[in-house]
Amino acid sequence: MRSYEIPKKVVLEAFKKVKENRGAEGIDEVSLEEFEADLDNNLYKIWNRMTSGSYFPPPVKAIEIEKKSGGKRVLGIPTVGDRVAQMVAKIYLNPLVDPYFHKDSYGYREGKSAIDALEVTRQRCWQYDWVLEFDIKGLFDNIDHELLMRAVKKHVKIPWLILYIERWLKAPFMQANGRVEERSKGTPQGGVISPVLANLFMHYAFDKWMERTHPDKPFARYADDGVIHCRTLEEARLLLESLKERMEECKLKLHPEKTRIVYCKDDKRKGEYPNTSFDFLGYTFRVRSCKARNGRIFYSFTPAVSEQAKKAMRQKIRRMRLQTKSYLSIEELSERINPVIRGWINYYGHFRRFEMYTVLSQLNKALVQWVRNKYKKRRGRTKAGKWLETLARREPRLFVHWTMGIFYTAG
């Protein structure tokens, strides 16, 4: 007899989803490939322990990564087996909570994206003069377990799901030096189930609160990052104080440097205010010159790729070290880097794509350096540039950004 009913096919489905998402190994240093090499046995162990109530998650591997805004963020990387177990739980949890989430909650949800959040924010900036941009400091690290479990139990009546969520919340961190740290709050950023739990927490801490107390102010929230639209400066100031109090009630804090009031200035809004731009999901919203269909130039408050995002892309180009890949053919090189370029263009090129040209031109310069190192007869920058430009015009689909007409112009 099993304590809990969990079909074996759900565990297999969970593994397939984990495999699609890839990811690094946890503290046991077992890779996805190694786990799959003994798949039947590994999945049986997970199923057996989860159905008997004896599954206890191992410690989470703590790793530090650089944040685009500077500083470091701690990610918690579960083992492959634990990711499978969490995915089993997510398969059950998501349908129980997601239908209740707010339509303007965009993070980590199927059928919603960051681009959706940016699009609705762009439209609302044209309708409302003021924006309160906010960021919650260390959301994943500071979620209160008692408040979160209260929300979980409101929606979940499956005993084993409640049991294992509680255990995952308490799973300790293991640092690089082997030191184990107990946890009394937060849900590891990097865990499979953490994004759903964070959304559930914010659903009650912010989304429902906004619906109840400020129904006239539309917002867009992506996990811990969001914008709220107001008609007047006074409204925005009162809302900011109210939001600070609400976050403190929920044992969270607004990030002091990333939370501020912004005036959506354009050619119709003549007022003055110190802040007239804001960053949201890798885009900067500010007044920009635009051309109407009749050719008339006007100024509108619109988004384009942020300087911070462009800096991160330039750093990525440098880290690619294309000049050291002269052992590859041009076709092999394009196969390696095209997925990265395509991702950049699809996301950061959604609004005002031409703002990416400076970054993609730098990529062309890196390709010129590759040509110089690859071919002895083209060591000179001008010769290498002419060769690359000729190739780009002949085979514009070889690199994704060449289809946009961004060639290296030798001169």
Q: Domain segments of the chain: what residues?
A: 8-250, 307-404
Cβ-contact 76, 169 below 8 angstroms = no
Compute the distance between CA of residue 77 and CA of residue 82 in angstroms, rounded to an integer: 10
DSSP readout, 29-83? ---HHHHHHTHHHHHHHHHHHHHHT---PPPEEEEEEE-TTSSEEEEEE--HHHH
Compute the distance between CA of residue 189 and CA of residue 143 in angstroms, rounded to an integer: 11
- How many Cβ atoms sit within 10 Å of the Cβ of residue 80? 24
Length of the chain: 411
280-296 residue pLDDT tens: 999 999 999 988 888 88
The pLDDT value given to residue 411? 46
Q: Which residues pair with 76 in a beta bridge?
A: 62
Higher pLDDT, 379 or 315: 315
Highest mean pLDDT among 63-77, 118-132, 171-185, 390-404: 118-132
Tokens of 95: 């349908």
Is pLDDT above 90 for 369? yes
Compute the distance between CA of residue 149 and CA of residue 72 in angstroms, rounded to an integer: 28
Those residues whose C-beta lies under 8 Å from the C-beta of residue 74, and which sit 6 or more positions away, are 62, 63, 64, 141, 173, 189
Is pLDDT above 70 for 69? no
Tokens of 320: 């690619």
The pLDDT value given to residue 66? 76
The pLDDT value given to residue 58? 95
The pLDDT value given to residue 270? 85
pTM more than 0.75: yes
* Alpha carbon separation from 17 to 22, 91, 192 (Å, rounded): 9, 10, 10
Is pLDDT above 50 for 202? yes
Mean of pLDDT over the chain: 94
Q: What per-residue string of b and e applies to 11-46 under the rule 16 or more CB within 10 Å gives b?
A: beebbeebbeeeeebbbeebebeebeeeeeebbeeb
Compute the distance between CA of residue 114 and CA of residue 220 in angstroms, rounded to an integer: 10
Cα dihedral 120, 292, 275, 199, rounded to 10, equals 10
**Mean predicted confidence (pLDDT) in 210-217:** 97
Compute the distance between CA of residue 350 and CA of residue 334 in angstroms, rounded to an integer: 22
Tell me the percentage of the chain whose pLDDT exceeds 90.
Answer: 85
Token pair 């429902």 is at which residue?
A: 208
The pLDDT value given to residue 73? 79
The pLDDT value given to residue 177? 85
Q: How many CA atoms lie within 13 A of 177 on its CB side?
A: 2
**Mean predicted confidence (pLDDT) in 57-61:** 95
Tell me the percentage of the chain whose pLDDT exceeds 70.
Answer: 98
